[in-house]
Structure 1
Amino acid sequence: MLQNTEPTFRKLSNSQIALHPNPKGIIQFIGSFIFGSFPAWAYKYLYQYLFDQGYSLILYRFPLNPIQFNHWEVSFGLLKEQYLLKTEIIKILREENQPDDVINTYSNPANYLWLGHSLGCKYIILLEISSNEPTKRSQILQKCLDKKDADEAIKQIALIESVQQTSKGIINQLLPETESVNQFFIKNQSSILLAPEISNTVRILRSSWRISNSLANPNQKQTECLISSSTELFNLTGIISFNLDCIAEDDVMFMVKQIKHKRFPALHKELEGSHFQPLSISIENLGQSIVYFFDELKSR
């Protein structure tokens, strides 16, 4: 499996993975609406570049459902998938007698990176918010959400904690000589947001007119409240935007403003292109920026 230099994807659970023979990190990718349901095909050239740079790839898919407005549900589903995939990958590596240093790369949570595009960024942001210290997290959820939604989110997080413990137990059995690392959800994992779309609004021809989706959960106001209230988080977040983007422009401005107040200097770069530039054949500048950002975030 690990002798091939091309990103040959295999289906594992509901996702697709391509394991590099000498991984410098594991990029977990969540794509945009529609294209995120067919990521291996839609982002083909971007994946080829990142694999060539030494990254293993995990492509999370979410169902192509135009009326799926519960973004909490999607995010929590992706997190459960992460724990399942991690244990399954380690099982595969053990069965194939891969070297200990390769297996240890996949067992260490710090080597898992997040890359999102458009709506996929919102799912990563919600996972980051869910990774806060429990008491603080509950306070923020209750502050920013309706009581019913806050109670449901807290309930779902508790259920995922049990999934996490199960995964940890399996990995400890597979790797008894490896010291277990405590990792709460995606805390302390680097993430890069490509043209983040968190408000579910579309700007028409760079005018003041907007098309908005008021059914999204959490909605724009709630999402912005969750982000701005999570002052301890997003220290390992980078943002890449595009100068002709008329979909995520406002959300990029909001997110850049938020990371400017964090522990480290803000990591933001604007490239030429439209909102869907990551799906383009010409991705060298974008790929170079992603690699540079991950290297910079790793040093923090």
Structure 2
Amino acid sequence: MIQFIGAFLFGSFPGSAYRPLLQALYAQGYSLVLHRFSFNPVQFNHWQVAFGLLERKQQVLDQIQQALPPDKAAFYADPTNTCWLGHSLGCKFILLLEILSNQPDRREEILRGALPVLAAESILARLGHMERTSADGGQGVRDQASILLAPEISNTVRVLRSGWQISRQGVQPNLQQTKDLVLASFELFNLTGVIGFNSDGISLDDVEFLRSELARREVPSLPIAELEGWHFEPLGLHVGRLAQSIDDGFVQLRATLKQPLVS
């Protein structure tokens, strides 16, 4: 099962904006859960978005357990059968989900080291509440593979090919904090792949940053690919090669689950 979150604007109507890609993945045998990007109102607190994703993830699993017979529901109950796919800014939320799913002691250390005191306290308090009340006991996205398509984690969103930008100075966490969180989480992202595009002028720096970081992880052969196209290639009609690269990446990542690594 793939849980998908798309780009700013287009991710607010993912079923139509990404239809060709989603259809191609469905044809490859994946079940799909689409998470809408909050565009109206625009959400500047990306931690809130990440917490919302954790809550909706559990709601989806609860609905599956109620709707399917036990033998089929058991497949979806296994966390290793869930994968995450993000595009553009949607990838940032997947990164935050990974950080929130770290072991409690390390998670607290990383959050306190990268964020202002009040921000870290607020996040840790909400995490504590979720872990006490969640059916998965704080599992989060541990042991779940993820692939990031043209990841964009900066504080500026560009619209299509134009120079028009939406600057988000009050976004949380900001670009430097996000990078610091990833840099400090050296035991994480062992089940993460990145797919970039050779004509992408929007997320080039972020793609290079994440590629460099993944190269330092315990798994030396994480799927890192560069395909032809621009930043919004996943929205196109001719996405057969991209869909195959995504499938190949998930197969490779899930194979690493046999190793004793933290996701």
TM-score after normalising by structure 1: 0.80
- CA distance in 1 between counterparts of 2:24 and 2:7 reads 19
Question: CA deviation digits over 1:124-166, x for unaligned, max 9?
Answer: 000000111101110110110011111111111112213423x
Contact 1:197 1:247 in 2 (8 A): yes
Corresponding residue of 1:173: none
Match of 1:130 among 79, 90, 100: 100
Match of 2:177 among 222, 236, 242: 222
Match of 2:53 among 78, 82, 100: 78
Corresponding residue of 1:37: 12
Which AA in structure 2 matches 1:201? T
For structure 2, the residue ranges without an aligned partner over 5 or more in a row are 257-263
Which AA in structure 2 matches 1:194? L
Larger gyration radius, structure 1 or structure 2: 1
- CA distance in 1 between counterparts of 2:138 and 2:174 reads 28
Q: Note closer, same or farther for the CA distance 1:183–1:50 as it changes in structure 2 (3 Å cut).
A: farther
Contact 2:150 2:231 in 1 (8 A): yes
Cα offset for 1:33?
0.6
Match of 1:154 among 85, 110, 124: 124
- CA distance in 2 between counterparts of 1:200 and 1:66 reads 17
Aligned length: 252
Corresponding residue of 2:213: 258
Which AA in structure 1 matches 2:223? L
Contact 1:203 1:246 in 2 (8 A): no
Question: CA deviation digits over 1:90-148, x for unaligned, max 9?
Answer: 10113xxxx71x22211111100000001110000000001111011101101100111
Question: Of the two structures, which has the highest relative contact order with CA contacts closer than 8 Å and spacing of 6 or more?
Answer: 2
TM-score after normalising by structure 2: 0.91
Alignment of 1:42-81 (within 5 A): 42-65=17-40, 67-81=42-56
* Matched residue SS, 1:281: coil
Match of 1:289 among 231, 240, 245: 245
Corresponding residue of 1:142: 112
Which AA in structure 2 matches 1:93? L
Contact 1:202 1:246 in 2 (8 A): no
- CA distance in 1 between counterparts of 2:51 and 2:157 reads 25
* Matched residue SS, 1:192: strand
- CA distance in 1 between counterparts of 2:60 and 2:83 reads 14
Match of 1:117 among 68, 87, 94: 87
- CA distance in 1 between counterparts of 2:68 and 2:133 reads 21
Which AA in structure 2 matches 1:215? G
Corresponding residue of 2:65: 90
For structure 1, the residue ranges without an aligned partner over 5 or more in a row are 1-25, 169-181
Cα offset for 1:61?
1.2
Alignment of 1:96-245 (within 5 A): 100=71, 102-165=72-135, 168=136, 184-201=139-156, 213-245=168-200
Cα offset for 1:65?
2.9
- CA distance in 1 between counterparts of 2:39 and 2:157 reads 19
Contact 2:101 2:142 in 1 (8 A): yes
Which AA in structure 2 matches 1:27? I
Cα offset for 1:214?
2.2
**CA RMSD between the two structures:** 2.0
Q: Note closer, same or farther for the CA distance 1:47–1:163 as it changes in structure 2 (3 Å cut).
A: farther
Contact 1:29 1:60 in 2 (8 A): yes
* Matched residue SS, 1:184: coil
Corresponding residue of 1:7: none
Q: Note closer, same or farther for the CA distance 1:163–1:242 as it changes in structure 2 (3 Å cut).
A: farther
* Matched residue SS, 2:37: coil
Contact 1:31 1:39 in 2 (8 A): yes
